Amino acid sequence: MTTATALDTLGRLESEAIHIFREVAGEFDRPVILFSGGKDSTLLLHLAVKAFWPAPVPFPLLHVDTGHNFDEVIEFRDKVVAQHGLRLEVAKVQDYIDDGRLAERPDGTRNPLQTVPLLDAITGHKFDAVFGGGRRDEERARAKERIFSLRNSFGQWEPRRQRPELWNLYNGRHRPGEHVRVFPLSNWTELDVWHYIAREGIELPSIYYAHRREVYLRDGMWLAEGPWGGPRDGEEKLEKTVRYRTVGDGSCTGAVESDAADIEAVIAEVAASRLTERGATRADDRLSEAAMEDRKREGYF
């Protein structure tokens, strides 16, 4: 009799995420959504809009900008922010490098440098809940994370001290100076994300779809030239048809060779892929067996 209203997998995931957004809105004073313009954060914002419709999203957005950006993504970011009439705070890694608070790493990668500006922004704005687009299927340290993840006043994740998380009763209590990272997409897989993007018709930066780009091969990844540098001796620039599966710091985010020019083609490609999205495209996760855990302990998202 009521089967007509039973939710399918995507409907269930959507309802769960909306529930999480509303819990945070009801229990925290100063939440913020991490928003880079990438697919997971775009999805996050889409769900936030649905959670509070027809009222506007009651949170500002925060982008921790490595300075190693793809132009298409920054344009997209600003367009989406304007479209929803939201406030965007930008914490720039470049500012920290310019005044010496952070030093450029020898490998040129800036992903690990995001942690300090992120924590400063959280402290400076007194944010008490920080929404991130992390998914448990991305990586095995993330698979261990709670939906509400308490961070101490240094922003650190203490995996051994995680609270029990029972049913869907979330305990967001924290002491002054502490905050909670909240992951509404915890239970989504990469394929769920793409199916949902297709179903909802969510617009993404164009670099997620196949396009021609000059790239060079390093450590088995197709990197693009940019402000972060270009090919070294012996690395040849080639024009290829590629797309990005993840978007992060341009210096360590690789493109994959792909003809998937639209959403259906991307779904077919992801479903058939034999590599995880991080394994295929993120040099920063290849650093060590516990690279992600170590960064999360330090306060990374």
Partner 1 sequence: MSDLLRLATAGSVDDGKSTLVGRLLYDTKSVLADTLDAVHRASADRGLTTPDLSLLVDGLRSEREQGITIDVAYRYFATPKRSFVLADTPGHVQYTRNTVTGASTAQLGVLLVDARKGVIEQTRRHAAVLALLGVPRLVLAVNKIDLVDFDEVTFARIAKEFTAHATALGYAEDAVVEIPVSALAGDNVVERSARTPWYDGPTLLEHLESVPVEPDAHDAPFRFPVQYVIRPRTPEHPDYRGYAGQVAAGTVRVGDEIAVLPAGLRSTVTGIDTADGPLQEAAAGHSVTLLLAHDLDISRGDLIATAGQPPKVTDEFDATVCWLSEKALTPGARVLVKHGTRTVQAIVTELRTRFDEQKLGSTDAPESLSLNEIGQVSVRTAEPIPVDDYTKDRRTGAFLVIDAADGSTLAAGLVGAPLPEVDGVDSCTEGGDAAQPDSHALVSPGP
Q: How far is the CB of 52 from partner 1 (least distance, A)?
A: 6
Q: Based on CB atoms, which residue is closest to partner 1, 93 or 223?
A: 223
Q: Based on CB atoms, which residue is closest to partner 1, 103 or 169?
A: 169
Q: Based on CB atoms, which residue is closest to partner 1, 101 or 163?
A: 163
DSSP bridge partners of 148: 182
d(CA 191, CA 185): 12
User: Closest Cα partner for 241 from 208, 211, 217?
Assistant: 211
d(CA 291, CA 140): 11
Q: What are phi and psi of 47, to 5 degrees?
A: -70, -35
Q: Based on CB atoms, which residue is closest to partner 1, 102 or 260?
A: 260
CB atoms within 10 A of CB 19: 14
Q: How far is the CB of 285 from partner 1 (least distance, A)?
A: 10
Q: How far is the CB of 96 from partner 1 (least distance, A)?
A: 28
Q: How far does Cα 39 stand from its chain's mean position? A: 7
DSSP bridge partners of 130: 32, 181
Q: How far is the CB of 95 from partner 1 (least distance, A)?
A: 32
Q: How far is the CB of 30 from partner 1 (least distance, A)?
A: 16
- Tokens 């920290």 identify what position? 96
Q: Please compute Rg for the chain using Cα positions.
A: 19
What pairing do the DSSP bridges indicate for beta strands 179-182 and 129-131? Answer: parallel
Q: How far is the CB of 131 from partner 1 (least distance, A)?
A: 15
CB atoms within 10 A of CB 218: 14
- Tokens 């990438």 identify what position? 38
d(CA 59, CA 47): 13
Q: Based on CB atoms, which residue is closest to partner 1, 50 or 213?
A: 50
Q: Based on CB atoms, which residue is closest to partner 1, 48 or 247?
A: 48
Binding residues vs partner 1 (CB under 8 A): 2-9, 11-12, 14-16, 18-19, 22-23, 25-26, 49-56, 136-137, 139-144, 146, 158-169, 171, 173-175, 186-187, 189, 273-276, 279-280, 289-290, 293-294
Q: How far is the CB of 267 from partner 1 (least distance, A)?
A: 14
d(CA 29, CA 100): 33
Q: Based on CB atoms, which residue is closest to partner 1, 65 or 277?
A: 277
Q: Based on CB atoms, which residue is closest to partner 1, 123 or 187?
A: 187
CB 301 within 8 A of CB 249: no
CB atoms within 10 A of CB 280: 16
Q: How far is the CB of 112 from partner 1 (least distance, A)?
A: 17
